[in-house]
Structure 1
Amino acid sequence: MSAATIEQLRIPETLDGDAAQDFLQAVEVSRQVRVHTWGNDVLAYTAQELFAQCHDPYEWYVVLVARNAGTIVGRAGIAMPLDDNTELAHVTLDVLPSAAGAGLGRKLLEAAELFVRGENRKIVMVETNHPVAALVDGVSDPITATHGSGSLPLSSREARFAYSAGYDLELVEQFSACALPLPAGVAAQLADKAAARQEPAYAVHQWMDSCPEKWAQDFVRLEQDVSGNDDAARGQGLHRGQDQEPEQAQELDQWDVNSLREAEELSARTGRHTLVSAAECLATGALVGFTSISILGHRNDVAFQDDTIVEKAHKGKDVGLQIKVANMEMLMREFPQTRAIYTWNAPENSAMLSVNAQLGFVSAGATGQWRKDFNALG
């Protein structure tokens, strides 16, 4: 592996023909890594998705590849936001299991860091993935996250890699899965439970793909409390979805109705569908919460839970449960072939974890968000 070389991948104009072969090979490396980690390729990019990300108007996406004897055996995806957080870069590392253990991951990371520093990016974020089976015995030498209550064991190879590369563990998220369809009667029982706590105080409104104009301003207002670390987490992939509390999120100061419509158009071009259930407070006529689910363009047998937001004044009334049940019912109605839904949650978000547990979500593992700040290094 000492003969491995690293270079920037040329993004092809189309996915057809010989010019796209290196790009497709890099996609296959990522797919094999996801299969090795999770046991399936549900969280893997398709070529069409990665191609779309390389043309995302909101970020610059660069791919570095490692070759051994001419064959691509590793890649580093570098996502650099173009509007907000322009000091930030997200780096995704993938090395084939057959090429692991020879220092290739470190060489790719160092090359990615050199690239982003040349683009005046000061903060690098790296994600590590940990299936639940790999965490069962990892109770010794925990690395505690700087935000939230999560930790990862230093015995984990992935955690040890990031830690030894000088990264701080910023956040740990619980990765959970729910089998679909829900057992008969479960959705109705949970809907009745939520309604019993509320009196007739809230109405649920639903839509797919495009927010009705009537609710657009309210929806944007709620989304302004949501950071970019949801489903389309900038630089972390189209598959990311996260239930979160508004106070845990970073504001999107420039997010408005025009931004919403642009995002809807971008999703439509990738074939992605978004299901939304929102709660209206009948006393004020305003939306006070929403939850969304994504269906990817290339497959409809899996779904991803995106953000769930409930305003603080309306918590403790099972509003989150009400809208999540409604959205799950819409998912099963509109996409009956869906067999699983996935989500990420902060471990300390006990309220949302409780709602998810009632719906049937079980832990499948964890992801770690690691940060290196070049400003702090001098």
Structure 2
Amino acid sequence: MSQITIRPIDIRNISDDDAKASHELRVALAAERTPDDPAPKWEDTQAQLQSIPTFVDVWVWFVEQEGKTLGTADLGVMRADENQHLAQFSIKLLPETRRQGLGKLLLKEIVAVAEAENRTLLMTDTASTVPSGAAFLERVGATVGLESHVNQLKLAEIPGGLLDTWTSDLADGFTPGLWEGPYPEESIEEILQLFDIFNTVPRGELQVDDFKLTLEQLRQQEESRAKRGVERWSLYVRDNETGKIAGFTELMWNPHKPTFAHQGITAVWPQYRGKRLGRWLKAELLKKLVAERPNVTIVRTENADSNDAMLKINTELGFKPYLAELVWQVPTETVKGYLG
């Protein structure tokens, strides 16, 4: 391909023209990855570009030919005490431009930054609807660290009476509570501890360490969602005897995708499992969604294929696989070898 240029982008100060080019590329790639969904809206792209948390550093490159954006690449590193060996990246190219060496050119830029940041492991993901991504990563020498699915629930297909049945009896000794919007300051330390449950979720062969969410990171995540207009409900149950929160679940709704809701983390501390708390939490929050967001018709969530306990609950609710996702990992040195 002639007259190809790789141009770095200052993503936190992106120009209007580059933001629009990024949006056009996002629309084209979304049509391939999720062809049944409505196209991403410009307002949502704008909000995402303006709401990157400061504890994440991101490098972005455009690959261009005669002024046309053919694709993009990015590399992100989290400024945290944990997983300082890790960097996450993506390469996204228009279908007609693939297998022409552009991915390799972008990968050179990614590796150069990863080395400068002392990141020895690179991680990315692919979707079953875009098989070229997996084929490219296999050539690079990456391996699959986790198999997962985006699972989808059509609310109209929930078995009749199921939500009422699941919520008819909360296990003895527990009291529910609800947080809408930002988490309250008076419970913030306990809330931060709740996210430690996520470290008990199966993560396959991924070479990642446990992650400890900090207050600053949590508040920045909330600020980022607020800029995008995303609303979050968090439902929890508290052990009456100890006062400890036993588990919680989250639902999020983006006004730019008004017919969709996203099921976030659902987690119960190991000592409270077996009491059907996860079932109660998810069903109760779905009842609230049906009552208060009548325009929502679909709920999506991501689950590791090895997370049998959560998949059992989701399957009984009516969740079905929507698309398969693979999380890949590859040592930076392996990528250098591929690049020659």
**TM, length-normalised to structure 1:** 0.78
SS state of the match for residue 337, structure 1?
Answer: coil
Paired amino acid for 1:179: K
Residues 177, 331 of structure 1: alpha-carbon distance in 2 compared, 3 angstrom cutoff: same
Structure 1 gap ranges (5+): 135-155, 228-243
SS state of the match for residue 210, structure 1?
Answer: coil
Please say if residues 65 and 75 of structure 1, whose CA atoms lie closer than 8 Å, have aligned partners that are also in contact. Answer: yes
Please say if residues 225 and 251 of structure 1, whose CA atoms lie closer than 8 Å, have aligned partners that are also in contact. Answer: no
Q: Once the two structures are superposed, what CA deviation does each residue of 1:156-192 show, in whole Å capped at 9, x if it has no partner?
A: 4332211111212111112111113564533112223
Q: Tell me the residue number matched to 2:153.
A: 178
Q: Please give the alpha-carbon distance, in whole angstroms, between the structure 2 residues aligned to 1:283 and 1:375.
A: 53
Residues 328, 200 of structure 1: alpha-carbon distance in 2 compared, 3 angstrom cutoff: same
SS state of the match for residue 124, structure 1?
Answer: strand
Match status 1:78 vs 2:75: yes
Q: Once the two structures are superposed, what CA deviation does each residue of 1:210-244 show, in whole Å capped at 9, x if it has no partner?
A: 224454332211113336xxxxxxxxxxxxxxxx7
Shift of 1:71: 0.1
Q: Tell me the residue number matched to 1:142.
A: none
Q: Once the two structures are superposed, what CA deviation does each residue of 1:320-340 show, in whole Å capped at 9, x if it has no partner?
A: 001011111222233221121
Shift of 1:102: 2.0
Q: 205-214 vs 62-71, which deviates more?
A: 205-214
Structure showing the higher helix proportion among its residues: 2
Shift of 1:76: 0.7
> Which residue of 16, 22, 26 corresponds with 2:18?
22
Q: Tell me the residue number matched to 2:321.
A: 363
Residues 297, 76 of structure 1: alpha-carbon distance in 2 compared, 3 angstrom cutoff: farther
Residues 247, 124 of structure 1: alpha-carbon distance in 2 compared, 3 angstrom cutoff: closer
Paired amino acid for 1:96: L
> Which residue of 205, 214, 221 corresponds with 1:255?
214
Paired amino acid for 1:339: T
Q: Once the two structures are superposed, what CA deviation does each residue of 1:278-323 show, in whole Å capped at 9, x if it has no partner?
A: 1112222210101111222533321211111111111112110010
Q: Tell me the residue number matched to 2:4.
A: 4
Q: 121-130 vs 204-213, which deviates more?
A: 204-213
Residues 125, 185 of structure 1: alpha-carbon distance in 2 compared, 3 angstrom cutoff: same
Please say if residues 125 and 372 of structure 1, whose CA atoms lie closer than 8 Å, have aligned partners that are also in contact. Answer: yes
Q: Please give the alpha-carbon distance, in whole angstroms, between the structure 1 residues aligned to 2:275 and 2:102.
A: 51
Q: CA RMSD in A?
A: 2.8
Shift of 1:354: 0.9
Shift of 1:262: 4.2
Shift of 1:69: 2.2
Match status 1:275 vs 2:251: no
> Which residue of 125, 136, 141 corresponds with 1:166?
141
Q: Please give the alpha-carbon distance, in whole angstroms, between the structure 1 residues aligned to 2:104 and 2:259.
A: 35
Task: Please show how residues 1-378 of structure 1 align to structure 2 within 5 Å.
Answer: 1-11=1-11, 13=13, 19-41=15-37, 46-53=44-51, 55-84=52-81, 85-131=83-129, 156-181=131-156, 183=158, 184-192=160-168, 195=169, 199-226=171-198, 245=201, 250-253=209-212, 255-256=214-215, 259-374=217-332
Q: Please give the alpha-carbon distance, in whole angstroms, between the structure 1 residues aligned to 2:59 and 2:13.
A: 14
Q: Please give the alpha-carbon distance, in whole angstroms, between the structure 2 residues aligned to 1:56 and 1:354.
A: 34
Please say if residues 127 and 370 of structure 1, whose CA atoms lie closer than 8 Å, have aligned partners that are also in contact. Answer: yes
Shift of 1:42: 6.1
Please say if residues 58 and 75 of structure 2, whose CA atoms lie closer than 8 Å, have aligned partners that are also in contact. Answer: yes
By relative contact order (CA 8 Å, sep 6+), the higher-ranking structure is 2
Shift of 1:126: 1.5
Q: Please give the alpha-carbon distance, in whole angstroms, between the structure 2 residues aligned to 1:369 and 1:43.
A: 25
Please say if residues 225 and 252 of structure 1, whose CA atoms lie closer than 8 Å, have aligned partners that are also in contact. Answer: no
State the aligned residue count.
329
Shift of 1:38: 1.9
**TM, length-normalised to structure 2:** 0.86
Kindly, what percent of the aligned residue pairs are identical? 23
Please say if residues 259 and 297 of structure 2, whose CA atoms lie closer than 8 Å, have aligned partners that are also in contact. Answer: yes
Q: Please give the alpha-carbon distance, in whole angstroms, between the structure 2 residues aligned to 1:217 and 1:313.
A: 20
